């Protein structure tokens, strides 16, 4: 009964945030782990060049599908959290706008995306990948709605269902033919399962779709959308420019080496987004009440306590991780992987910072640092890829991301200063203990999994001995 109340009901703010984060982490960890298995297996069977072709298609399509959001989802989430009595109108209007934008973006992708690559035979692959992102857009809409409703258990169920379908389809299709198109078809099957499954918990809102459609609400969404459009455009350029420029300035093999290293990082980088999304409804309510420092400090601390061991433990064990995942043909990915791991230190707190600024309706002020960082990323990629290849691209994105995080953190300090050093000293000391232990075990020839387990245990024990308050609070909520 206690577990049922904890995980399926919304009570106190702490319990609600913990419940949301639990389901987000469980669902996404399971689904992303399964999808990571698919992509790792695909990288092995396709080889570096063909896997690079698939990765390039997965980088080109999002540049056109980004307009399918246009601020609808963030505005919808904030509206549902703050305007409880008008949830049906918000959801119906947001869904209609989302589908219309998805259709327009799909058309733009089919027409213009093939011009961004010089690799022949990409048109069919780009079409399949565009359909994947179309269906994912519907699924993500549903995810944001259940998050705003504090019903995140549905996201976990749908995520696992879609990823399971992807795994089954991938092994089936790749057994027929080892081509990027067959891998894309497997992703399409999983996206279809996810997009249709998420409509089940929303069926009560969507039955009265035309009745609840509010044109004035749609106009309000569009009026507030332009900062999101610019934000999404710059963000997509930042995320996908590296693969596209590697394809232009080098070759598909280099794209494959780079994306093999970045794929595990992407799994890690999903965690802060989930934690921040789970806390956002509380952020929005506390910002309106003027009591914002406490949830912000705790969320920031939680992000950094998770980021520190992942980053430095991964750097120490990088070669073993790459060899285990991909085999010897991908050894060139090791240094790229180590550099990209440092993104975790930047992106984990950046997710909380972004949602904190969004809760105060000052998200448009983030456009300037994001624009500067995106421009720097393009320039640095152009300069560093020709002489250094994938390593140069990894350095470029790390430096550019640091510029962005520095800018948005400066903005946050104007809204709500955060005592960073006071929150982090225990985590830094515990990380030092963990790194020493992991380094000793790795040097002694201990297997990778034993080193990982010992590192995690030593880190948590060090935090406990240092009386980290966040661990105590989590224990109190669980009790």
Query: Can you tell me the distance from the alpha carbon of 6 to that of 339, in angstroms, rounded to the nearest whole number?
Result: 39
Whether 274 and 24 have beta carbons less than 8 Å apart is answered as yes
Query: Can you tell me the distance from the alpha carbon of 220 to that of 79, in angstroms, rounded to the nearest whole number?
Result: 11
- What tokens appear for 353 in the block? 């910072």
Taking phi over 0 as left and psi of -120 to 50 as alpha, with beta for the rest, 467 belongs to: left
Query: Can you tell me the distance from the alpha carbon of 455 to that of 441, in angstroms, rounded to the nearest whole number?
Result: 9
Query: Can you tell me the distance from the alpha carbon of 264 to that of 215, in angstroms, rounded to the nearest whole number?
Result: 43
All structural domains of the chain with their residue ranges: 10-224, 226-479
Whether 109 and 61 have beta carbons less than 8 Å apart is answered as yes
Instruction: Tell me the pTM.
Output: 0.72
Whether 52 and 252 have beta carbons less than 8 Å apart is answered as yes
**pLDDT tens for the 479 residues of the chain, in order:** 465 555 555 555 566 666 666 776 777 777 777 888 898 899 989 988 898 999 889 888 888 877 666 556 666 666 666 665 666 777 777 787 788 888 988 998 988 888 887 777 788 999 999 999 999 988 988 887 777 776 778 888 888 899 999 999 999 999 999 999 999 999 999 999 999 998 888 777 777 666 667 666 666 666 665 566 665 666 666 667 888 888 888 888 898 899 888 888 877 777 777 667 666 666 666 666 666 666 777 777 888 888 899 999 999 999 989 988 888 788 889 999 999 999 998 888 887 777 777 766 776 777 788 888 888 989 999 999 999 999 999 999 999 989 988 888 888 788 777 766 666 788 889 999 999 988 888 788 788 888 889 999 999 999 888 888 777 766 665 55
């Amino acid at each position: 009964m206690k577990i049922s109340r904890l995980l399926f009901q919304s009570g106190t703010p702490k319990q609600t945030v913990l419940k949301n984060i639990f389901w987000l982490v469980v669902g996404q960890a399971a689904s992303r782990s399964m999808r990571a298995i698919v992509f790792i297996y695909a990288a092995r069977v396709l080889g570096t060049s063909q896997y690079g072709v698939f990765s390039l298609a997965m980088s080109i399509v999002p540049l056109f599908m980004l307009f399918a959001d246009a601020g609808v989802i963030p505005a919808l989430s904030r509206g549902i959290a703050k305007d409880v009595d008008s949830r049906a109108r918000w959801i119906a209007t947001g869904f209609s706008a989302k589908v219309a934008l998805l259709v327009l973006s799909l058309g733009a992708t089919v027409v213009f995306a093939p011009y961004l690559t010089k690799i022949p035979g990409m048109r069919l692959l780009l079409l399949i990948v565009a359909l994947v992102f179309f269906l994912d857009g519907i699924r993500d809409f549903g995810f944001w709605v259940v998050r705003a409703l504090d019903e995140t258990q549905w996201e976990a169920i749908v995520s696992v269902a879609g990823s399971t379908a992807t795994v089954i389809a991938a092994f089936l299709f790749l057994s027929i033919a080892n081509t990027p198109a067959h891998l894309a078809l497997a992703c399409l099957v999983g996206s279809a399962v996810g997009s249709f499954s998420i409509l089940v918990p929303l069926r009560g809102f969507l039955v009265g779709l035309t009745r609840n459609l509010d044109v004035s609400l749609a106009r309000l969404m569009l009026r507030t959308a332009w900062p999101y459009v610019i934000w999404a455009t710059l963000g997509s350029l930042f995320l996908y420019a590296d693969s596209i420029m590697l394809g232009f300035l080098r070759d598909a093999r280099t794209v494959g080496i780079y994306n093999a290293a970045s794929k595990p990082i992407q799994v890690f980088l999903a965690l802060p987004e989930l934690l921040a999304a789970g806390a956002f409804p509380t952020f929005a309510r506390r910002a309106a009440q003027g009591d914002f420092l406490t949830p912000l400090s705790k969320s920031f601390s939680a992000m950094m306590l998770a980021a520190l061991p992942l980053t430095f433990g991964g750097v120490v064990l990088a070669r073993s991780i790459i060899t285990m995942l991909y085999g010897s043909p991908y050894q060139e990915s090791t240094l790229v992987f180590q550099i990209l791991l440092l993104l975790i230190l930047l992106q984990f707190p950046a997710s909380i910072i972004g949602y904190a600024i969004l809760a105060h309706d000052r998200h448009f002020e983030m456009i300037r640092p994001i624009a500067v960082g995106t421009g720097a990323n393009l320039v640095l990629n152009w300069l560093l890829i020709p002489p250094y290849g994938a390593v140069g691209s990894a350095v470029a994105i790390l430096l550019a991301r640091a510029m962005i995080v520095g800018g948005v953190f400066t903005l946050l300090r104007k809204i709500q200063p955060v005592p960073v050093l006071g929150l982090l000293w225990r985590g830094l000391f515990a990380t030092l203990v963990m790194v020493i232990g992991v380094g000793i075990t790795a040097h002694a020839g201990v297997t990778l999994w034993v080193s990982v387990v010992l590192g995690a245990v030593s880190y948590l024990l060090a935090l406990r001995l240092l009386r980290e308050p966040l661990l105590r609070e989590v224990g109190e909520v669980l009790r």
